[in-house]
């Protein structure tokens, strides 16, 4: 019983318990799990909160958790510590990244493992124990309720008094990964209660060594037939982006990235050789500017009209750097003009447009953006140096004038969209009104800052190296390779000078 001190099986589970005590050996130490588990203060008013300079502006697509129908947009949370002023140095030891795989709302977190067992421990408990998989985990008032052998005739309930997260690991020395929603995920899992959202809400966060996380990003971000050099450039960009997210969120939130469009896609475990090789062959390589890591944003295609990160992501010291500014001339004709989303058109009725814009501005608390009464005129206001639309000037039927950031407009239209056909791929838009309709000629797919994935593939196909690709899309940045060391005595100064460009 000693190892099970925190667990309270219900009285009728005594015989299961006896069986388990015989079967189960629970004596390995648990891995260090970065905590940062933050909790529970209500943070409903998102618009009032400072955001990460790394966080992409919303494109209106919700962060849909893999394997669950739940969706959430609550990825901005109130910081408990001030944000770091500086971008991080490239890490010398391999960090663990905390990836939120699912925001599970109103249903249990269900996990399983090929061995039929999972090891669970309360964050503050002295010891953990093994359960028969699959398990279903429910947050309850004073802790967690776990159903083991969930969905079988042998299902039984346990309760754990625990104020913190529930940590889940694969059985020691076992093969195979923890499975959720039909996918296999690397690393260990934390189930974090989200009482700030709902009594039945929890987040499923996997803690994964960075180099093991990255292949699952590439496998989902790029097409299988794409060039090795594109994969390598993407590996370095994704690693650098992740390192910056980790720096920003480390003490502020219980996860660093989501597995989805709001951060970068992640399939979890992958056997895709090209992805694994690209990460291995660029291991420890970061994109650096002024000695610190560049938050290497990237998007699907810029449509020949790239944006700077300050414009399309967020303004701040992290993004006000040369590699993330738009300086390149002539990119229009030498980037992604052959991509499927290079040019596209979307049409909405004026009534539908006004509805979506009014809904969004109301929900965002943006009184400067609405409500509008119809639309009298809708034109491009500001453009960036390459001609990408940055704002719209809109006059409603009452003659009231509004200035909309094109990114906000895209977010508003996509928040009201019922399908991807009904949404906007990017904010590079040329609007015109015609007979009660708004016609939008669009270019590209995504925020358009940093590397253009289709443009990178175009370069790789014409023989360009990963380095050439990154030099083009992050001008002024260099690639450094960090030797891995567990020494904690390395000083910041050494970190800057030791890497070779």
Q: Strand, helix or coil at 29?
A: coil
Residue from 354, 451, 452, 469 binding Zn ion (CB under 5 A): 452
Closer residue to Zn ion, CB minimum distance, 137 or 302: 302
Closer residue to Zn ion, CB minimum distance, 52 or 427: 427
Q: Strand, helix or coil at 33?
A: coil
Q: How far is the CB of 424 from Zn ion (least distance, A)?
A: 17
CA atoms within 13 A on the CB side of 429: 32
Q: How far is the CB of 298 from Zn ion (least distance, A)?
A: 10
Is residue 302 a contact residue for Zn ion (CB under 5 A)? yes
Q: How far is the CB of 391 from Zn ion (least distance, A)?
A: 22
Q: How is residue 54 written in tokens?
A: 């790394």
Q: Are residues 88 and 293 in contact, defined by beta-carbon separation less than 8 angstroms? A: yes
Residue 269, CA distances (Å) to 45, 197, 279 in order: 35, 29, 13
Q: How far is the CB of 304 from Zn ion (least distance, A)?
A: 6
Residue 78, CA distances (Å) to 43, 51, 254, 300 in order: 6, 9, 12, 30
| Other CB atoms within 10 A of residue 480 CB | 20
Residue 137, CA distances (Å) to 134, 351, 407 in order: 10, 45, 38
Q: Are residues 263 and 98 in contact, defined by beta-carbon separation less than 8 angstroms? A: no
Is residue 336 a contact residue for Zn ion (CB under 5 A)? yes
Q: Which stretch binds Zn ion (CB under 5 A): 129-137, 186-194, 209-217, 294-302?
A: 294-302
Closer residue to Zn ion, CB minimum distance, 44 or 329: 329
Residue from 181, 446, 455, 499 binding Zn ion (CB under 5 A): 455
List strand residue ranges (DSSP E) for 152-266, in order: 156-161, 166-169, 178-180, 183-185, 188-193, 201-209, 257-258
Residue 301: DSSP 8-state: B
Q: Which residues contact 293 (CB under 8 A, 6 or more apart)?
A: 87, 88, 89, 90, 240, 243, 244, 247, 286, 287
Q: How far is the CB of 207 from Zn ion (least distance, A)?
A: 34
User: Which residue has the closest beta carbon to Zn ion?
Assistant: 452
Closer residue to Zn ion, CB minimum distance, 268 or 444: 444
Is residue 459 a contact residue for Zn ion (CB under 5 A)? no
Q: Cα–Cα distance between 171 and 112 in angstroms, integer?
A: 11
Q: How far is the CB of 410 from Zn ion (least distance, A)?
A: 17
Q: Cα–Cα distance between 56 and 15 in angstroms, integer?
A: 52
Is residue 451 a contact residue for Zn ion (CB under 5 A)? no
Q: Which stretch binds Zn ion (CB under 5 A): 135-143, 377-385, 451-459, 473-481?
A: 451-459
Shortest CA distance to 456 belongs to which of 334, 332, 281, 296?
334
Is residue 386 a contact residue for Zn ion (CB under 5 A)? no
Q: How far is the CB of 473 from Zn ion (least distance, A)?
A: 9
Residues numbered 38-77 forming contacts with Zn ion, rule: CB under 5 A: none
# binding residues, Zn ion (CB under 5 A): 6
Residues numbered 121-140 forming contacts with Zn ion, rule: CB under 5 A: none
Closer residue to Zn ion, CB minimum distance, 210 or 335: 335
Q: How far is the CB of 232 from Zn ion (least distance, A)?
A: 18
Q: Cα–Cα distance between 291 and 297 in angstroms, integer?
A: 18
Closer residue to Zn ion, CB minimum distance, 132 or 388: 388
Residue from 335, 350, 413, 459 binding Zn ion (CB under 5 A): 335
| Other CB atoms within 10 A of residue 357 CB | 26
Phi, psi of 405 (to 5 degrees): -60, 135
Q: Which stretch binds Zn ion (CB under 5 A): 124-132, 143-151, 223-231, 455-463?
A: 455-463
Q: How far is the CB of 303 from Zn ion (least distance, A)?
A: 6
Q: Which stretch binds Zn ion (CB under 5 A): 6-14, 50-58, 166-174, 329-337?
A: 329-337
Residues that bind Zn ion (CB under 5 A): 301-302, 335-336, 452, 455
């Amino acid at each position: 019983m000693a190892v099970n001190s925190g667990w309270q099986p219900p009285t009728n589970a005594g015989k299961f318990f006896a069986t388990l005590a015989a079967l189960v050996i629970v004596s390995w130490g648990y891995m260090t799990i970065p905590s940062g588990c933050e909790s529970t203060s209500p943070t409903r008013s998102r618009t009032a909160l400072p955001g990460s300079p790394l966080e992409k502006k919303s494109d209106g697509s919700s962060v849909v958790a893999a394997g669950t129908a739940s969706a959430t947009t609550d990825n901005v949370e109130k910081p408990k510590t001030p944000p770091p002023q500086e971008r991080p140095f490239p890490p010398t030891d391999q960090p663990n990244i905390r990836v939120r795989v699912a925001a599970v709302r109103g249903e249990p977190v269900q996990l399983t493992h090929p061995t039929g067992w999972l090891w669970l421990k309360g964050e503050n408990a002295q010891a953990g124990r093994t359960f028969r998989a699959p398990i279903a985990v429910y947050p309850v008032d004073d802790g967690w309720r776990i159903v083991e052998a969930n969905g079988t005739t042998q299902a039984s309930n346990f309760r754990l008094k625990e104020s913190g997260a529930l940590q889940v690991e694969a059985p020691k020395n076992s093969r195979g990964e923890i499975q959720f929603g039909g996918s296999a995920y690397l690393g260990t899992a934390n189930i974090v209660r989200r009482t700030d959202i709902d009594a039945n809400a929890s987040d499923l966060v996997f803690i994964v060594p960075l180099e093991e996380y990255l292949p699952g990003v590439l496998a989902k971000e790029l097409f299988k037939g794409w060039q090795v050099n594109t994969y390598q450039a993407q590996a370095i960009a994704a690693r650098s982006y992740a390192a910056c997210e980790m720096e920003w969120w480390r003490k502020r939130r219980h996860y660093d990235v989501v597995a989805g469009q709001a951060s970068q896609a992640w399939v979890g475990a992958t056997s895709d050789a090209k992805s694994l090789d690209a990460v291995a062959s660029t291991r420890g390589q970061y994109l650096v500017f002024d000695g610190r890591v560049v938050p290497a944003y990237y998007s699907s295609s810029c449509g020949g009209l790239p944006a700077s990160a300050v414009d399309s992501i967020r303004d701040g010291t992290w993004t006000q750097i040369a590699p993330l500014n738009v300086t390149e001339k002539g990119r229009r004709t030498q980037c992604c003009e052959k991509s499927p989303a290079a040019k596209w058109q979307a049409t909405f009725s004026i009534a539908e447009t006004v509805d979506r814009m009014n809904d969004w501005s109301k929900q965002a608390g943006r009184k400067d953006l609405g409500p509008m009464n119809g639309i009298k005129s809708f034109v491009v206001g500001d453009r960036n140096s390459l001609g990408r639309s940055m704002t719209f000037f809109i006059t409603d039927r009452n003659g009231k004038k509004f200035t909309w950031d094109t990114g906000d407009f895209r977010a508003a239209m996509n928040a009201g969209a019922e399908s991807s056909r009904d949404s906007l791929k990017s904010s590079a838009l040329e609007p015109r009104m015609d007979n009660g309709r708004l016609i939008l000629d669009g270019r590209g797919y995504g925020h358009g800052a940093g590397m253009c994935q289709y443009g990178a593939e175009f370069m790789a196909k014409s023989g360009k190296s990963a380095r050439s690709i990154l030099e083009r899309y992050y001008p002024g940045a260099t690639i450094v390779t960090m030797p891995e060391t567990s020494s904690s005595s390395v000083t910041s100064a050494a970190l800057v000078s030791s890497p070779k460009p």
